[in-house]
Structures are given as structure tokens and as C-alpha cells.
Structure 1
Amino acid sequence: MNLHFSSSYTSENLSTELGITFVDKPFEISYQYAETIANQIALANGQPKIERVYFIGDNPDVAIIGANMYNHLLPQEINLRTSISCYNLLTDSKYLSATSCESILVCTGVYEPNKQKLDCKNPWKLPTTIKLDVFEAVKYIILKESWPWIVNC
């Protein structure tokens, strides 16, 4: 897990106040940040804001849980959203537009379907779909978004 620290100094040398902000999977703020960047890129290229986000990961215990937590957050009123992980969320909703999030588990890293089973008792760890690799995951997204001409090139 990456920990990003932000610090504010109340006095130059006498006392230090250290605030900790977690900015990595599976915290929802990481997924909000990714959506924010995707929307900034879309708008800069004359495209509309996104309605659905897809997160691809190889670890059901981290990336898939995080994406599913984010999907749980999206139906909430944007200014009233509450983090399941109890950490802060982004407060500027200007670039947050998604209404759904899909979690795509790939078999190219931590998760190996021949060696481990998914924990069906924990719905947070269950992906929307499982694909062999990132290429197959991207093809899935393209077809789901009705852009078949891109796949057929």
C-alpha cells in the first residue's frame, strides 16, 4: 500500500502536526481521483464526462474490493457520499459524473484461477467480470460501450 502524507507545520521548529491521508486502493478517494483525471482528459478532448468507469485489477482483496466499494458509493447524492472505508472523499464534484463502476479481475498477477478460488461469501471481492489479461479486459470494455469497430480494426 502506498501512503501519501500531507503535513502542515504549526510552527517552523517547535511543534509539528502531521495529517495522514490514505490515497491508494482500496480507498474510494483513489477511484474518485482516477475518475477526475479521466473526466479532465475527456473534456480536454471535446468528449462528454463519463457515465461508467471500469477498474481493472489482479487482486480481489485490493483492487476489486476498492472498485466495488466505489460502485456502492456512486448512487449516493454526490455531496452526501459517505466512505465505507471511513476515509475522506474528494469534495469538489466538478469532475465526478459516473453513475456506475465495474470491477474487472484479470488473471495476470496475484489472481490465478487455477490456484485459488474467489471468496463467494464476500461480495466485495467478487468482480463484475473476469478476463484473461488486460487486453481482454479492454476488449470487453470497448464492446460493452458499443465501439465494436475499434475491436475489429
Structure 2
Amino acid sequence: MTRTGVLAAIPEGPRERLMELSHEVSFPVEARIFEEGGRADRFWVIRTGSVDLDMRVPGRRAAVIETLGAGRLLGWSWLCPPHRWHMGAEATTPVRAWEFDAAEVLALCERDPLLDHALLIYVVEVIGRRLRSARTRLLDLYGPYGSGSAG
């Protein structure tokens, strides 16, 4: 199996230990996987399909911030107190994913510094990318001159 995304960022031994904690799940089209503000106690690695991340905008429809596909990490809020989802997520196609219980992963990270470091570095990169995506999308939708990006 080709490794992409978060699984490619974690060294083989720690990755195998992490995968031992996973179980396969699936979501139908239009399934709400989580809601902004809800309790973040798990995360997923998407195997197939796509998921839209959205953000509530007062007085308007939720804004789609980013679309995630195979190999991408779905959910990072489980890592950062207060452990509440910062966005919502909805399947836009049928989705198959590996699901992880956050408490189990955090306990494994305490015992496995290589996993802890690799996962933390990857999640920080994800947070940065999603923050930039949210800023650009919200400026495009609601700013007087858009984001100024040509794409």
C-alpha cells in the first residue's frame, strides 16, 4: 500500500503501532461526521472519498473551507484543549476511513516519542494550512475585494 499524507509522515515502526489502534469506518454521502463546537475525541485518516470542512458564518450558510481526500487527516482538534471541533465536516462522496480514538493515541504518544514528534509536526502543518485556507475562503466570500489571490 502506498503511504500518503499523515501516514507517510510517520516512520514505519511508530506508524505500525498507530495503525494497530485504528478501525475501519465508512460514511455515506452527506453524512455529518462532526459539528463545529462538538467534543473532539477522535480523528480519521481518509482512505477513499472526499470530505468538506466547513465553518459557520453568522447569518449565512456554512462556508466550505477545504475539501479533503485520500491520505488526508480529518480532525486535529482532539490534540489541542479544549478538545472541541474548530470546523464541521461532511462527506461529499462515500468515504472509507481509519478511525482513531484520541485518548488511545495520546497514551501511545506518551510511550513513543518518535510517533509523538512526527504526529505533532504533521498536525501543526495541517493547522497552518487550514488556517490559511479559512482566511482565503472567507475573504473570497465576504471581503470587499476578495483575498487578492488569483486562483
User: TM-score, with normalisation over the residues of structure 1?
Assistant: 0.21
Q: Larger relative contact order (C-alpha < 8 A, sep ≥ 6)?
A: 2
User: TM-score, with normalisation over the residues of structure 2?
Assistant: 0.21
Greater strand share, 1 or 2? Answer: 2
Instruction: Work out which of the two has the higher radius of gyration on C-alpha atoms and give 1 or 2.
Output: 1
